[in-house]
């Protein structure tokens, strides 16, 4: 484990001292924050941002900009200081509002809050994993769109990360893949300061990190003095020269450098320095200005607006020549980077739905999903699929799938057994632009990727999760593999659409809805799909159109005395129970609710028309019952499963746990 004692202290200058002062002052004003990383990484940041990073503060969405990810996101004042100093639309008043309500400078970098912040990096490890996804997107797009003498996709992805990111297992999952894929334009800076919140890390982090990354296939540049600009420059030049391997720059730093009494200790990691220490730090770093005051001459050196505008202008000239030579490719590139769908997309979705309805196939919804992918993917070349080592079970591939290779070719990613890495890489791909990523695993293994899924929702990214084997219908693999609480728990995540379709038509509609989410409604979707075959349900045209509303009347009756609400494989039970009750003279309406989240976004009139007030309700779903009481109330009932499953054939399990027509009928009768 490194210490800083091997190195001479830095020669402080106004460029790096401006970062340190802003970080100290903002954290102190907020009485909250993490000053250690901004102070310790100031030289690394200055070298990268002033001498290597290609970006345009006047247009943070320039497609060919270098991407920068602060994976150690607790050091957020570092990126806020950099954005402010280089000329982004982030004022000194914004910095003064650090960590305050509705500010543009929240406690951790949040995508969509602050111009220039590429991704949300609160949970450690996910930032570097997002960066892997961004670098992969760049490589795939370059292979797809670049032509001889027309390189319109050509940029780097840079990431800062700390010991915490490296301790999190997701960094292993992603960085292993980055080496396999040969992501030569991915450059990561390890802030090797030997400190985490609990103190010196020798007691809990003694990994051979450089050796680990060399084993992944990275170029590793060791023992860089993170406070020596020339050493950092040299290392960056070496990193950029290697086109075939991602690079890890191991930068030895002293956390809180510039704080005369707290540098090198965990005291500076996650707490304000205090007025007395800041007063002592100012002359120590040669900074003699009041809080939040930056001299004009410092701004002039940092300002990147002129350079950025020139870089973008040069790229635009290249793109104009490209468009003249390859007009169709240029138009497609612009559409995809804007996140737009084809102009006739609604008609294309309807065409897929019509064909699905005409075929009326009785298949497992995981197979129906594959059929839907086969229909949509040729129409949307931006669909970038994959699976966490379960392709043959998730059925996420299609006839046009080609495995992503080290050469940057392909449209299907074999993630290996890396569910969390898959989720966070997909977020990075989506954030980069140009692709709609989707990835598969078993629904029960969503536990492994849960936080990445949450980040998809928080950042409103169009990422599609194909989660198969959705219930005790999995059968013989037993309770370890049978999800009972997963669908209900994912419905609690804001902005996540959870679809559990009952047949091939609802599955195709769910795919259409997930692909269509964009703009203000943008966000991820989960498709919870069955292992077992589910019967096709006939619908007239009016009913077909209602599937997109998330919940609709699938089969009605005159003057119904009860409503049965069902999802997925249990819709067939509801329909059969309806028929049996009708024979007994009891009229019942059946409502299919493939997506509770979408149903909740409908207006009150629609919801009341589907679930009329005053009519008793019974919900049926092979999972925990808790969430359904919102719809059935105290007077209704839920046929569900509030325990773990068992190992047995699926048919036996459904019977064992009461998912039978007779039990649904009995339950309806009990509440009438």
Alpha helix segments (H runs only) across 146-168: 163-167
The DSSP letter of residue 341 is P
Distance (Å, rounded) from C-alpha 115 to C-alpha 121?
15
Instruction: Name the residue with tokens 């100012």.
Output: 282
Instruction: List the catalytic residue out of 277, 312, 419, 621.
Output: 419
H/E run at residue 174: helix 169-181
Which among 9, 7, 87 is positioned nearest to 42, based on CA atoms? 9
394 is written with which tokens? 């998730």
H/E/C letters for each residue in 614-648? CCEEEEECCCCCHHHHHHHCCCCEEECCCCCCCCC
Q: What's the number of CA atoms in the CB half-sphere (13 Å) around residue 479?
A: 7
The DSSP letter of residue 150 is B
246 is written with which tokens? 């991602």
**In 3-state terms, what secondary structure has residue 432?**
helix
Sign of CA pseudo-dihedral 130, 135, 137, 140: negative
Task: Give the CA distances from residue 156 to residues 246, 421, 491, 563, in Å, rounded to whole numbers and listed in that order.
Answer: 10, 21, 37, 56
Binding-site annotation, residues: 34, 74, 122-124, 163-164, 193, 195, 269, 366, 393, 445, 469, 477, 481, 531
CB contact set of 269 (below 8 Å; sequence gap of 6+): 34, 36, 37, 195, 196, 197, 255, 256
Distance (Å, rounded) from C-alpha 204 to C-alpha 664?
54
How many C-beta neighbours within 10 Å does residue 190 have? 29
Q: What's the number of CA atoms in the CB half-sphere (13 Å) around residue 86?
A: 29
Q: Which residues of 358-381 are buried (b: 16+ CB within 10 A; e: fewer)?
A: eeeeebbbbbbbbbbbbbbbebbe
- The per-type count for the chain, helices as H runs and strands as E runs, is 28, 20
Binding-site annotation, residues for substrate: 34, 269, 366, 393, 469, 477, 481, 531
411 is written with which tokens? 């449209």
Can you state the angle between helices 209-216 and 169-181, rounded to 10 degrees?
A: 40
CB contact set of 363 (below 8 Å; sequence gap of 6+): 371, 504, 533, 534
Phi, psi of 525 (to 5 degrees): -140, 145
Distance (Å, rounded) from C-alpha 219 to C-alpha 533?
49
Which among 643, 637, 636, 638 is positioned nearest to 657, based on CA atoms? 643
Binding-site annotation, residues for Mg(2+): 163, 193, 195
Q: What's the number of CA atoms in the CB half-sphere (13 Å) around residue 50?
A: 20
Which among 136, 190, 142, 185 is positioned nearest to 167, based on CA atoms? 190
Specify whether 419 is catalytic: yes
Catalytic residue list: 419
């Amino acid at each position: 484990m490194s210490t800083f004692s091997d190195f001479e202290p830095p020669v402080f200058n106004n460029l790096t001292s401006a970062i340190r002062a802003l970080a100290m002052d903002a954290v102190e004003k907020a009485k909250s924050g993490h000053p250690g990383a901004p102070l310790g990484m100031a030289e690394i940041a200055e070298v990268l941002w002033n001498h290597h990073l290609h970006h345009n503060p006047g247009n943070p969405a320039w497609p060919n900009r270098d991407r920068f990810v602060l994976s150690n996101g607790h050091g957020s004042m570092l990126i806020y200081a950099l954005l402010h100093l280089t000329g982004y639309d982030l004022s000194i008043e914004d910095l003064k509002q650090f960590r305050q309500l509705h500010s543009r400078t929240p406690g951790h970098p949040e995508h969509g809050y602050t111009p220039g912040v590429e991704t949300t990096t609160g949970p450690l490890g996910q930032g570097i994993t997002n960066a892997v996804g961004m670098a992969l997107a760049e490589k795939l797009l370059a292979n797809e769109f670049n032509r001889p003498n027309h390189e319109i996709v050509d940029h780097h992805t840079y990431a800062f990360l700390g010991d915490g990111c490296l301790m999190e297992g997701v960094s292993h999952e992603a960085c292993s893949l980055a080496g396999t894929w040969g992501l030569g334009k991915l450059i990561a800076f390890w802030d090797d300061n030997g400190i985490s919140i609990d103190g010196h890390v020798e007691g809990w982090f003694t990994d051979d990190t450089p050796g680990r990354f060399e084993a992944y296939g990275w170029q590793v540049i060791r023992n860089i003095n993170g406070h020596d600009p020339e050493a950092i420059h040299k290392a960056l030049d070496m990193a950029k020269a290697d086109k075939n391997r991602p690079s890890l720059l191991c930068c030895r730093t002293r956390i809180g450098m510039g704080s005369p009494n707290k540098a090198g200790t965990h005291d500076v990691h996650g707490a304000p320095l205090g007025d007395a220490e800041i007063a002592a730090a100012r002359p120590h770093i040669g900074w003699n200005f009041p809080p939040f005051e930056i001299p004009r001459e410092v701004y002039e050196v940092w300002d990147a607006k002129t350079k950025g505008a020139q870089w973008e202008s040069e790229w635009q000239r290249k793109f104009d020549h490209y468009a003249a030579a390859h007009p169709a490719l240029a138009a497609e590139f612009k559409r995809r980077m804007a996140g737009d769908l084809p102009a006739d997309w609604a008609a294309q979705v309807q065409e897929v739905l019509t064909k699905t309805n005409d075929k009326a196939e009785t298949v497992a919804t995981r197979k129906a999903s594959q059929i839907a992918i086969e229909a949509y993917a040729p129409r949307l070349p931006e669909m970038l699929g994959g699976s966490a080592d379960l392709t043959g079970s998730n059925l996420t591939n299609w006839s046009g799938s080609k495995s992503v290779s080290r050469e940057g070719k392909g449209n299907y990613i074999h993630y290996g057994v890396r569910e969390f890495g898959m989720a966070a890489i997909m977020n990075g791909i989506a954030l980069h632009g140009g692709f709609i990523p989707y990835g598969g695993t078993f629904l029960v293994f969503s536990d492994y990727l849960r936080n990445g899924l949450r980040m998809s929702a928080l950042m409103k990214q169009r990422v599609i999760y194909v989660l198969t084997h959705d219930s005790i219908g999995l059968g013989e693999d037993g309770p370890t593999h049978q999800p009972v609480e997963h669908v209900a728990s994912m419905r609690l995540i804001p902005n996540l659409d959870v679809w559990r379709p009952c047949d091939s038509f609802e599955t195709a509609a769910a795919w259409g809805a997930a692909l269509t989410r964009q703009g203000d409604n943008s966000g991820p979707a989960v498709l919870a799909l069955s292992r077992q075959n589910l019967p096709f349900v006939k619908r007239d045209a009016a009913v077909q159109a209602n599937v997109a509303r998330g919940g609709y009347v699938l089969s009605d009756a005159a003057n119904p005395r009860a409503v049965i609400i069902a999802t997925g494989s249990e819709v067939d039970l509801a329909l059969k129970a309806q028929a049996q009750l009708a024979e007994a003279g009891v009229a019942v309406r059946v409502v299919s609710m493939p997506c509770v989240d979408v149903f909740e976004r409908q207006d009150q009139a629609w919801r009341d028309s589907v679930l009329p007030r005053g009519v008793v309700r019974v919900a049926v779903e092979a999972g925990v019952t808790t969430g359904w009481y919102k719809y059935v109330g105290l007077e209704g009932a839920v046929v569900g499963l509030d325990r773990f499953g068992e190992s047995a054939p699926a048919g036996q399990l459904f019977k064992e746990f009461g998912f039978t027509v007779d039990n649904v009928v009995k339950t309806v009768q009990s509440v009438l």
